Amino acid sequence: MLLLNVKAGICAAVLAGSVVVRAQQVQTAQPVIDQHTLQTLLDRLAADEARIKELENKLTRQSGPEASPVVSAPKPSEATEPPPEQADASPSSSDGSAEAASDPHDHMELPGGGPTLKIRGFLDLNAGIGSAANPLLFPLNAPSHATFQSGQFDLFISSKLSEKLSFVSELVIDSDTSNAWGLDIERMQLTYRPSEYFEISGGRYHTAIGYYNTAFHHGTWFQTATGRPFMYSFEDQGGLLPVHSVGLSMSGLVPGTRKWGLHWIAEATNGRASDLAKAPVQNFLADRDNKGYNLAAYIAPEWAHGIQIGGSYYHDRLNPSGIPHVEQSIKSLYAVYTTPTWEFLNEGVLLDNRMVGQNHVFRTPLMYSQISRKFGAYRPYFRYQYVSSPINDPVNAYLGRMMGPSVGLRWDVADYAAFKLQYNRFDQLGVKPSNGLDAQMAFTF
């Protein structure tokens, strides 16, 4: 009752003061408010509020320990987790049946609202004529009929967790000759980079074999041509190289070599599956204890902008069923020159497979060379490639020889969209030469 009387008195005082001020304004017919009177009322109201809070605290102390003082509700970010015994306890009725209880902490709050998630999309749409038109599947079971083709729907997802910690992934949805849609997480890596001299990544990434495989990923909008060189075809499309890896990757700039831009790369990986019938990339369960490793280095001199020269060495031991273990080594060399105007790419790889206990080496040479020059919005380009895999190789998915040129034109129709027209002619060992014309619209969104 005491609190009610005090609050009623305050309200009456404020109302009376407002009536007096209003009456004075009407009598004098002046729109100016008496600032002194208003300030006096505000000071009196603040004093009364302080007295009310003091009275409430006195009543609380007199009411005993079961009463709790009036406090303001915490902000969501200030909420604390319940004790373990409280979180595990579930209220029950007198007959022992559990009753549903609402948990005020059934949501997750991140400090500062959490990191920012960025999503960039890429897509390409194709139309092809001839068996050599498909930029993704040729020459493995490519369709020979004229066809419209939906390319890769690529979602590039990234987030910066801190100044030194970041996350990158690529979620790709695409189709193949079965016309069924498939979903793949092509990249998924967490990177810690304390300085330019050292960084380490873990997860699924593009193996640092050569240049093209780490310079260009799944968004065809970045690439000049309609597709990757055949030597860097993806594993599930018959590619010969382990272009994807699951494991650890470390790299950095060699101290004291900034003028030359000397970088090193070291990777430990599950390697690709030993059996061709299984998923080629071992994302979760490896089929052997030993791991593959890859060592690479390159220079990108400051005084020669656009030039990069490097090489790599990859080694693994595969365990195909029914035959001895296979020692696999992959050696690569490359020299590239890239500027906004010019693009000149040259790469060569030697893929060696040798069954343990035998001296014979099944050697597969792979290479390509590509040159292009930009004229305004137009970039004509030329590519020649060569792959020769021994017919009796024990582990390669593609067997035989394929070589030939590609000629094309890229037209940047907008800042984030490009139209490409490419002609291919390929010769395969024991197969009639094939031709194809491919049109592609690649864009980012």
- The reply to whether 45 and 128 lie within a common domain is no
Identify the pLDDT of residue 4.
Answer: 42
- The reply to whether 296 and 377 lie within a common domain is yes
Residues 219-247 have a mean pLDDT of 93
Q: Is residue 333 situated within a structural domain? A: yes
Contact 319, 339 (CB under 8 A): no
- The reply to whether 217 and 346 lie within a common domain is yes
What is the extent of the structural domain holding 357? 116-444
Among 143-147, 219-223, 265-269, 437-441, name the one with the lowest average pLDDT: 143-147
- The CA radius of gyration of the chain, in Å to the nearest whole number, is 35
Q: Is residue 350 situated within a structural domain? A: yes
Question: How deeply is 414 buried, as exposed, middle or buried, from its count of CB atoms within 10 A (0-12, 13-18, 19+)?
Answer: exposed
Q: What's the total number of domains in the chain?
A: 2
The two three-digit tokens of residue 355, written as one number: 């069954």
Q: Is residue 71 situated within a structural domain? A: no
Question: From start to end of 319-429, where are the E strands?
Answer: 326-338, 342-355, 362-373, 378-389, 400-414, 417-428
Higher pLDDT, residue 317 or 23: 317
The CATH number for 283's domain is 2.40.160.10
DSSP assignment, residue 60?
A: H
CA angle 113, 114, 117 (to 5 degrees): 120
pLDDT band at 284 (very low <50, low <70, confident <90, very high): very high
Q: Which residues contact 124 (CB under 8 A, 6 or more apart)?
A: 151, 152, 220, 221, 226, 440, 441, 442, 443
- The reply to whether 44 and 135 lie within a common domain is no
Residues 174-181 have a mean pLDDT of 85
Is the pLDDT at 225 greater than 60? The verdict is yes
Identify the pLDDT of residue 104.
Answer: 54
Q: In this structure, is the dihedral angle defined by the CA atoms of residues 200, 203, 205 and 210, taken in order, positive or negative? A: positive
Identify the pLDDT of residue 418.
Answer: 98
Quick one: which of 212, 232, 234, 209 has its CA closest to 222? 212
Q: Is residue 104 situated within a structural domain? A: no
- The reply to whether 52 and 148 lie within a common domain is no
Identify the pLDDT of residue 64.
Answer: 47
pLDDT tens-digit map of 119-174:
999 999 999 998 787 765 555 545 568 889 899 999 999 999 999 999 999 999 99
Q: Is residue 75 situated within a structural domain? A: no
Q: Is residue 368 situated within a structural domain? A: yes
pTM comes to 0.74
Identify the pLDDT of residue 62.
Answer: 55
pLDDT tens-digit map of 180-208:
999 999 999 999 999 999 999 999 999 99
Specify the 3-state DSSP secondary structure of 50.
helix
- The reply to whether 44 and 156 lie within a common domain is no
- The reply to whether 8 and 135 lie within a common domain is no
Residues 239-265 have a mean pLDDT of 97
Max avg pLDDT among 37-51, 63-77, 314-328, 369-383: 369-383
Q: Is residue 102 situated within a structural domain? A: no
- The reply to whether 134 and 57 lie within a common domain is no
Contact 405, 383 (CB under 8 A): yes
Quick one: which of 37, 12, 8, 10 has its CA closest to 22? 37
- The reply to whether 130 and 41 lie within a common domain is no
Specify the 3-state DSSP secondary structure of 51.
helix
Cis omega (within 30 of 0) for bond into 139: yes
Q: Is residue 252 situated within a structural domain? A: yes
- Taking the C-alpha atoms of residue 247 and residue 291, their distance in angstroms, rounded to an integer, is 9
Phi, psi of 246 (to 5 degrees): -120, 120
